[in-house]
Chains A and B, each alone.
Chain A
Amino acid sequence: MRNLVRTVFAVAVVLALAGAVTAQGQLNGAGASFPFPIYSKWFDVYGKAKGAQINYQSVGSGAGIRQVTAGTVDFGASDGPMNDDQIAQFKKDRGMDIYHFPTVLGAVVPTYNIPGVSSDLNFTQAAIAGIYLGKITKWNDPEIANANKGVKLPADDIVVVHRSDGSGTSYIFTDFLSKASADWKAKVGVNASVNWPVGLGGKGNEGVSGLVKQTPNSIGYVELIYALQNKMPFGNVQNASGAFIKASLDSTTAAAAGAAKDMPADFRVSITNAPGKTAYPICSFTWLLIPAKFSDAGKRDTLKGFLNWMLADGQKMTQDLYYAPLPKEVVQKELKAIGNIQ
């Protein structure tokens, strides 16, 4: 009996200590899966350097917004900014504001599989919108052919592929399509999941690229990182200035820089179709969602420390993982905004 009491006491002490250790400034976050690789790396490196433990679960942007509103996690992450309704809901439920902090940039590229065509195709904005609306049905349509003089395009039907699962990639792509085509904006709209007029659905970047690789005369859209890592061919897209730009880390950062001048103070901005000669038109920020007030000073300081580190050293690590770093103008603005977190 005495032994039993001793064991229970010992276990209780160990658990209490473990609880105390983990409670000290441990942060929990959840949200977008697109930036998960870079967030994992950042939290790991920062954690080792400063002894802080930041735990992140990539459950999806929607779930991230829901959990940070419910207070289950200390911060959220989303590929699309919270809309006004969601911010109002957060204010109502938690009694404070929520701040958006852009962390990295992502881009979406059109990938295709046309037997006999090995060069990079140029896509006008009208071409991509028309293809995804189902209005342009053949590869040798004038809208596509005129931008690709010298390339022999077949008279075959275009097989359109999109994402079946809700995702930030679809959000960025539909945001671009809404700007490229008023028709798309009216009929379909912008969201992580939309009612696609035409096309097959693939699950995840892997699903889309798998379908495109297997189906001749198909076109799909994937994240730039995915295309680069898997050495997939992708086309050039015409930007707002009329130039055909191939997506790259540089052209993505250029798009954000172009949009930085008119950026609102809360960083909730769409940078698709950004101005600038070298800007790639289909890109977007991904944001960390941070509540305005923290009751736990340890957590607040850890988070502020992380944000400062992320905007300086963290940005240097993005290129290795094929993420585009934030432009300097945005970094400056964010460093100032960190002071708002109480």
Chain B
Amino acid sequence: MATATTAGMGAGPKPASRSFSARLIQGDQVAHVVTFLFAATVLLLVTLLVIILWTHSALPRAKFGLSFFTGRTWDPVAEDFGAAPFVYGTLVTSALALILGVPLGLGAAIFLAELAPPKISDGLTFVIELLAAVPSVIYGLLGIFVIVPFVRSVLGPVLIHTLGWLPLFKGPCYGVSFLAAGLVLAIMILPFIVSVSREVLLAVPTDQREAALALGSTRWESTWKVVVPYAMTGIMGSVFLALARALGETMAVTMVVGNVTEIKTSLLAPGYSIAAVIANEFTEATSDMYLQALIELGLVLFLVTFILNGLARLLILFTSRRGGTA
């Protein structure tokens, strides 16, 4: 293409140069090559990560096979390892984080994009985006000093009193629990949902809103029934970004989840998550089997994230085909 332009523009006897160095000096080819290399590097890193996780978890894969996914014991002394309690904990805390965080985040984004005056919107967005910069250990401290006592003395007893007949809210409440972890994670994923959703909502063309209003809808109706569906792909994207953070969150979770290797249906019970157990036990894992079992847990987390992202893509494909525009 570069040669075509030079041939077209060169008005004199100078022939269009086809040599590589000449093409290279033109910006296009360089940009093409460089950006391709960057994309290839990212892909290479992911592949390398999977390869390393795979090869360094050979021992437990040989010993446990697929029963690693269903095993419920984690015994470093007897070298009996099973990932089920951690996968359960990761999924429960992330699901809880989404259930609590998405309505809050989406609501805030809608307010900031549609209903708030521009100055307030910009100011509040700036503050919310600051939340994303806070290290997760700080959220862990917030969890220990504020959320865990809150769950133990206020939220837990209230839930047991009102909804205690549900298996979700049974049992003694120590404060450290799936619920506490879900709350902390919900706070952590808020900035992602709010800032990305707000951007996406702001990008919806004004004619969409105006068309809805012209047809007689109220402000809220036009927002909820026209603008939000139009922006749904982007909003889903922000939700899955938030989910990715919640799945991998380590420090904040381990400080508030109770670190107990058990599968309990009650949200007030303590639990564990994959990232938390790896962070806790990796440095002191002495035997090879133990270390490799932890690495296999990392592989499991990778797999869980991969599956969830795949489902996310399918969901986006499904909803964009159905009604909203892409």
Where the two chains meet, the residues of A that have a C-beta atom closer than 8 Å to any C-beta of B are 59-63, 65-66, 85-86, 157, 159, 164-167, 188-195, 199-203, 207, 210-211, 214-215
Contacts and interface: CB of A to CB of B under 8 A. Distances in A.
A193 B284 contact: yes
Interface stretch (B28-36, B89-97, B119-127, B256-264): B256-264
Contact of B283 (A62, A157, A188): A62
B242 to A, nearest CB: 24
Contacts of B174: 159, 200, 215
Contacts of B74: 195
Size category of the binding interface on chain B: 20 to 34
B217 interface: no
Interface stretch (B54-62, B75-83, B160-168, B300-308): B75-83
Interchain residue pairs A-B with the least CB separation, the first 8: A166-B284, A201-B259, A60-B283, A164-B259, A189-B77, A195-B75, A165-B280, A62-B286
27 contacts: A59-B283, A60-B284, A61-B284, A62-B284, A62-B285, A62-B286, A62-B291, A63-B283, A63-B284, A66-B286, A164-B280, A165-B279, A165-B281, A165-B283, A191-B77, A192-B284, A193-B284, A193-B290, A195-B261, A199-B260, A200-B260, A201-B272, A207-B255, A211-B176, A214-B149, A215-B152, A215-B175
Contacts of B149: 214
A192 B286 contact: yes
Contacts of A86: 286
A211 B260 CA distance: 13
Given A195-B77, A201-B260, 12 more contacts: A61-B286, A62-B286, A164-B259, A165-B281, A166-B285, A188-B77, A192-B286, A195-B78, A195-B261, A199-B260, A200-B260, A215-B152
B236 interface: no
B285 A193 contact: yes
A106 B280 CA distance: 21
A193 B77 CA distance: 8
B86 to A, nearest CB: 12
Nearest to A194: B77
Interface in B135-164: 144, 148-149, 152
A60 B75 CA distance: 19
A201 B258 contact: yes
B255 A203 contact: yes
Interface of B: 73-78, 144, 148-149, 152, 172, 174-176, 254-255, 258-261, 270, 272, 276, 279-281, 283-287, 290-291
A200 B286 contact: no
Contact of A164 (B144, B172, B254): B254
Give the dominant DSSP class at B's interface.
loop
Nearest to A170: B284
Nearest to A202: B259
A166 B280 contact: yes
Contacts of B254: 164, 203
Contacts of A59: 283
Contacts of A164: 254, 259, 276, 280
B165 to A, nearest CB: 22
A194 B280 contact: no
A320 B263 CA distance: 45
Contact of B144 (A188, A189, A210): A210
A337 B76 CA distance: 33
A85 B290 CA distance: 14
Nearest to B280: A165
A35 to B, nearest CB: 15
Contacts of B73: 195
B284 A195 contact: no
B148 A157 contact: no
Nearest to B251: A203
Nearest to A167: B284
A303 to B, nearest CB: 24
B286 A65 contact: yes
A35 B152 CA distance: 35
